Amino acid sequence: MAWLRVQLSEEEQRVVNEERSSHPNPRIREKTLVIWLLHNGLTRQDAAKIVGVSRATVQRYVAAFRDGGLDGLRQSSVNRPASEMAAYRELIRESFEKQPVRTVAEACERIFQLTGLRRGPSQVRKFLKDMGLKFLRVRSIPVPPKKIWPSTSKPKRLFMTPN
């Protein structure tokens, strides 16, 4: 494949200049900065050093620009699959608020009864945390002893004073 020399039109230069400093997504700002540096004559290796990415990443940015222009550069191809439990989010929340669970294992079992989806403790713990539910630590309340032992009835002196 031929080496693509990045040349931006006047309109593209204006858009890249604007987006490399003010786009809300930091990854898009990084991509437009790389394209801007390449347009200004830097090598791919130098642009990678300045931006703080690898040369292969710069190559991917250039390929996205070559294939789709600035719109191709703005697209994100990050694969974030949605959890199957997400469809049951409100049902799970209502059930847990109505009758809280004591352990993660109990939460796993309740989710299985409600949805038919069996998940491990780590997945359930992460899902519940993402929903905003918190695990509360339960501790015993100290109770004073019922009997007073002779050894604890009188405080002992640590130092004796001469009489």
**What is the pLDDT, as a whole number, of residue 1?**
46
**CB contact at 8 A, 8 and 35:** yes
Q: Which of 12, 62, 66 is CA-nearest to residue 42?
A: 62
Work out the number of other CB atoms within 10 angstroms of the CB of residue 48. Answer: 20
Give pLDDT, residue 119: 92
Task: Name the token pair of 85.
Answer: 């439990």
pLDDT of residue 46: 93
pLDDT for position 10: 86
**Along the 163 residues of the chain, how does pLDDT read in single tens digits?**
456 778 888 888 888 888 888 888 888 899 999 999 998 989 999 999 999 999 999 999 999 888 888 888 888 777 777 788 888 999 999 999 899 888 899 999 999 999 999 999 999 999 988 888 877 777 777 776 666 666 656 665 666 666 5
Interhelix angle for 121-131 vs 89-98, to 10°? 90
Closest among 63, 58, 62, 61 to 47, alpha carbons compared:
58
pTM of the model: 0.51
> How far does CA 61 lie from the centroid of its chain?
24
How many residues are recorded in the chain?
163
